[in-house]
Chains A and B, each alone.
Chain A
């Protein structure tokens, strides 16, 4: 009896659930640990490195393979495993898949047999993902990075790392925070709040939560949209849209692990057909589509006669079997592929062409170590790891400053945060090397922009008030803000006073933005930072001060 129970508990679908949950937990822990100083035992961008689509897309669009291949070694492992096991990644590992499974439960309720959406079985749409994959690869081949639009791993990473995280931190902060003066309740709330504050939120903001821009909300709506697709049928995204699922599906055509039905036993009850979340099983157990199966093993659970087995077979036999089992196979249309390719090709100028290539946006300050703009855009997959790790919450997504192509890429917003002099974390977590990994000493000298004084605002310049808060905070060894002591006549008192009027030493200013961030004038600071003379674009230097180009 116990053995049967034991077997019952450790059936494949339950093992899958346990692994899936643990992997998802690991994903969340890694996100929480994506803080400076980086101390987690796994690289913070581990899940992104598991993603073969991001690897292929980035290698194609940036036309560089060398270092990327070593970084994406885990993705190669996933590819090899897929050749053995099929699309297991989608239901065992993918955090978006797990989130969608949760959403399916919430939306559809726990009961499996009632409230089944009517559109459960939709063969025609499922080919869409292969065409999306086709368009994706064509665009990448023509050097447009589109992983950020459709690749599930960057989508789920940024959704959790910056949107869900900031929503959660805001909610926890505003709900728990005010309870600190409430007797009795604070005995419970304060330890929780303290833990969250010290270990989860505080690294990024003295607000206690992550500050955001409008684009965060847009990203959140997009994420919710993906989950809401489950209103139509379960795993809509994975079934019909996901290009990574398509890629793994194509690989699994020759995989070893196969779904086998004992036709002698089968009573053609159609339970497996109805249970299958990706609609891979044909009616009456007449066969299955290997490229659609995500190895969830739920079909075994519902089979009343134990007719379903998963067995290892050589690909040649299984291909033969498949012909016999699944007459439809993978029935893609050439015409649609050409359409998809055309779509991918048209997307390239749409994304890449900017109103003016000479209109350098002054406020587009990239994180230190970013590649020159063109290459940067080819590589950045908008996973938002850099935004999450930034200890001052200074990196935020662009909207259109960097063109349509640049939506969601990171920029430094000095009013919200500054580039910490002693930190080089963004380059360490970037999975595609769009931001280079820099040694700290190298980063300290790297110029990402230049400050200038807005003398119509600055206290000492405009109002004869002493201030020098910018100078105080300037981190470069010999200070890149210096000052003149000027004697002026104060109008009110008619007395001579000495005012210390600051100026920027352009040569040594690194553009970290702490001066603008700390300026006591908050609305429109008296000192601003622009991308002027950023080191990655030395060709733009005027040379007016005799700098060697």
Chain B
């Protein structure tokens, strides 16, 4: 008789041990994310509105210069997240996504300000690969050395919304929460449920889960989310705006060339100003009104310092 190489008891013992070891791996590597509110570093800079140039990059440069330069927001060695709207598989002319040149310029300014890494992403509505490409944003970010990746469905975590009136918690993207600096770069466009989509609504791009479920009482839901995710800077792309059949369709007639870039730290004020581009006021938009009531920002533009910069050429 030869010695048995395996015996059942050892086998079971080892298997169970290995199983426990494997199962506990995720616990080991997990580090608690920073609380999102740590990002808040609000300075009241009012709104800087750059207007009048055919070159979106010049508009960005002028508006950022007007609030003291990107160095005011980005420090050397920071991990910066730039969150444009890359929702739809559409070209820049269709004004369904943030203008790629605007994203490009912002990434460049962040890198020049000493950012260690500038990440750009959005949880797309159409398929990520085609959307990133067709929007022109993938190529734009790569041109200036930014880091553009598809959203990774594994990297969402449930975040509590203590001040939320309707939402108590929601799944949010860890990379957006962990960033040293979060820059929200929405485009201004029409949207049937919320009437318009701009800064506050653009943050839906860092949400996981079934986002369609947020559409009932969307205004309140958006305000709730904005109590947790607080971008350090909001840059509204109003170079081309989509005035009807948004947020993704529309005929060429629906796209209006307004040639503006608005910079601010107060998302409610930015959206309230954005509404005026469509002939509306902040009062007309549920999320702006509720955001104002929940003291997320100022809706009354008379109380906001507006600085308009005419950019030539």
**Number of A-B residue pairs having CB atoms within 8 Å of each other in the complex:** 105
User: Please, which residue of chain B has its CB at the minimum distance from the CB of A392?
Assistant: B127
Q: Which of A177, A185, A520 has the most CB of B within 10 A?
A: A520
A197 touches B249 (CB 8 A): no
Is residue B42 contacting chain A, with contact meaning CB distance below 8 A?
Answer: no
CB distance from B83 to the nearest CB of A (A): 18
CB distance from B28 to the nearest CB of A (A): 6
Set of chain A residues within 8 Å of B89, measured between Cβ atoms:
420-422
CB distance from A231 to the nearest CB of B (A): 28
B248 touches A467 (CB 8 A): no
Set of chain A residues within 8 Å of B152, measured between Cβ atoms:
197
Set of chain B residues within 8 Å of A469, measured between Cβ atoms:
212, 215
Is residue B116 contacting chain A, with contact meaning CB distance below 8 A?
Answer: no
Given contacts A422-B89, A422-B90, A459-B216, contact A182 B26 (CB under 8 A): yes
Is residue A466 contacting chain B, with contact meaning CB distance below 8 A?
Answer: yes
Measured in the bound complex, the distance between the Cα atoms of B216 and A496 in whole Å is 16
CB distance from A394 to the nearest CB of B (A): 10
Is residue A186 contacting chain B, with contact meaning CB distance below 8 A?
Answer: yes
B29 touches A182 (CB 8 A): yes
Is residue B251 contacting chain A, with contact meaning CB distance below 8 A?
Answer: yes
Q: Which of A181, A203, A459 has the most CB of B within 10 A?
A: A181
Measured in the bound complex, the distance between the Cα atoms of B127 and A1 in whole Å is 59
Is residue B3 contacting chain A, with contact meaning CB distance below 8 A?
Answer: no
Set of chain A residues within 8 Å of B247, measured between Cβ atoms:
472
Measured in the bound complex, the distance between the Cα atoms of B216 and A466 in whole Å is 5
B130, B155, B213: the one contacting A37 at CB < 8 Å is: B130
Is residue B113 contacting chain A, with contact meaning CB distance below 8 A?
Answer: no
Is residue A350 contacting chain B, with contact meaning CB distance below 8 A?
Answer: no
User: Please, which residue of chain B has its CB at the minimum distance from the CB of A190?
Assistant: B152
The 8 A CB mask of A464-477 against B (1 = contact, 0 = none) is 01111101111111
CB distance from A198 to the nearest CB of B (A): 7
Measured in the bound complex, the distance between the Cα atoms of B284 and A113 in whole Å is 85
Measured in the bound complex, the distance between the Cα atoms of B212 and A522 in whole Å is 11
Measured in the bound complex, the distance between the Cα atoms of B30 and A179 in whole Å is 11
Measured in the bound complex, the distance between the Cα atoms of B248 and A473 in whole Å is 7
Is residue A543 contacting chain B, with contact meaning CB distance below 8 A?
Answer: no
B217 touches A466 (CB 8 A): yes
CB distance from B267 to the nearest CB of A (A): 21
Measured in the bound complex, the distance between the Cα atoms of B245 and A186 in whole Å is 44
Set of chain A residues within 8 Å of B29, measured between Cβ atoms:
181-183, 186
Is residue A277 contacting chain B, with contact meaning CB distance below 8 A?
Answer: no
Measured in the bound complex, the distance between the Cα atoms of B126 and A518 in whole Å is 10
A468 touches B130 (CB 8 A): no
A421, A467, A477, A520: the one contacting B250 at CB < 8 Å is: A477
Set of chain A residues within 8 Å of B134, measured between Cβ atoms:
422
A465 touches B216 (CB 8 A): yes
Residues 6-54 (chain B) with a chain A CB within 8 angstroms? 25-26, 28-30
The 8 A CB mask of A499-533 against B (1 = contact, 0 = none) is 01000000000000000001110100000000000
Measured in the bound complex, the distance between the Cα atoms of B24 and A181 in whole Å is 11
CB distance from B248 to the nearest CB of A (A): 6
Residues 221-256 (chain B) with a chain A CB within 8 angstroms? 245, 247-251
User: Please, which residue of chain A has its CB at the minimum distance from the CB of B127?
Assistant: A391
A183 touches B125 (CB 8 A): no
Set of chain B residues within 8 Å of A477, measured between Cβ atoms:
245, 249-251
A206 touches B128 (CB 8 A): yes
Is residue B303 contacting chain A, with contact meaning CB distance below 8 A?
Answer: no
Residues 425-463 (chain A) with a chain B CB within 8 angstroms? 459
User: Please, which residue of chain B has its CB at the minimum distance from the CB of A186?
Assistant: B29
Set of chain A residues within 8 Å of B218, measured between Cβ atoms:
466
Set of chain B residues within 8 Å of A177, measured between Cβ atoms:
154
Set of chain A residues within 8 Å of B133, measured between Cβ atoms:
37
Is residue B302 contacting chain A, with contact meaning CB distance below 8 A?
Answer: no
Set of chain A residues within 8 Å of B128, measured between Cβ atoms:
202, 206
CB distance from B55 to the nearest CB of A (A): 27
CB distance from A190 to the nearest CB of B (A): 10
User: Please, which residue of chain A has its CB at the minimum distance from the CB of B94?
Assistant: A477
Is residue A539 contacting chain B, with contact meaning CB distance below 8 A?
Answer: no
B125 touches A479 (CB 8 A): no
Q: Which of A206, A459, A500, A522 has the most CB of B within 10 A?
A: A206
The 8 A CB mask of B156-193 against A (1 = contact, 0 = none) is 00000000000000000000000000000000000111
Measured in the bound complex, the distance between the Cα atoms of B248 and A392 in whole Å is 17
B150, B210, B215, B216: the one contacting A198 at CB < 8 Å is: B150
Measured in the bound complex, the distance between the Cα atoms of B89 and A36 in whole Å is 12
A178, A392, A520: the one contacting B213 at CB < 8 Å is: A520
Given contacts A178-B26, A180-B154, A182-B26, contact A479 B127 (CB under 8 A): no
Given contacts A202-B128, A206-B153, A473-B125, contact A466 B215 (CB under 8 A): yes
Set of chain A residues within 8 Å of B191, measured between Cβ atoms:
472
Measured in the bound complex, the distance between the Cα atoms of B127 and A36 in whole Å is 10
Is residue A208 contacting chain B, with contact meaning CB distance below 8 A?
Answer: yes
Is residue B143 contacting chain A, with contact meaning CB distance below 8 A?
Answer: no
Is residue B142 contacting chain A, with contact meaning CB distance below 8 A?
Answer: no
The 8 A CB mask of A189-209 against B (1 = contact, 0 = none) is 000000001100011001110
Measured in the bound complex, the distance between the Cα atoms of B126 and A475 in whole Å is 10
CB distance from B205 to the nearest CB of A (A): 14
Set of chain B residues within 8 Å of A423, measured between Cβ atoms:
130
A471 touches B130 (CB 8 A): no
Measured in the bound complex, the distance between the Cα atoms of B29 and A40 in whole Å is 39
Measured in the bound complex, the distance between the Cα atoms of B216 and A106 in whole Å is 58
Q: Which of B155, B193, B210, B218 has the most CB of A within 10 A?
A: B193
Is residue A483 contacting chain B, with contact meaning CB distance below 8 A?
Answer: yes
Given contacts A422-B90, A468-B192, contact A36 B25 (CB under 8 A): no
Is residue B129 contacting chain A, with contact meaning CB distance below 8 A?
Answer: yes
Given contacts A182-B28, A471-B192, A519-B212, contact A203 B127 (CB under 8 A): yes
Set of chain A residues within 8 Å of B154, measured between Cβ atoms:
177-178, 180
B193 touches A179 (CB 8 A): no
A472 touches B150 (CB 8 A): no
Set of chain A residues within 8 Å of B216, measured between Cβ atoms:
459, 465-467
Set of chain B residues within 8 Å of A207, measured between Cβ atoms:
153
Measured in the bound complex, the distance between the Cα atoms of B129 and A423 in whole Å is 12
Is residue A548 contacting chain B, with contact meaning CB distance below 8 A?
Answer: no
Given A391-B127, A477-B251, 10 other A-B residues pairs in contact with their CB atoms under 8 A: A197-B150, A202-B129, A421-B126, A422-B134, A459-B216, A469-B215, A472-B247, A473-B125, A473-B248, A474-B249
Residues of B within 8 A of A (CB): 25-26, 28-30, 89-90, 125-130, 133-134, 149-150, 152-155, 191-193, 210, 212-213, 215-218, 245, 247-251
24 chain-A/chain-B pairs, Cβ below 8 angstroms:
A35-B129, A37-B130, A177-B154, A178-B154, A180-B154, A181-B29, A181-B30, A182-B25, A182-B26, A182-B29, A183-B29, A202-B150, A203-B130, A206-B128, A207-B153, A420-B89, A422-B90, A423-B130, A466-B215, A477-B245, A478-B245, A478-B251, A483-B192, A519-B212
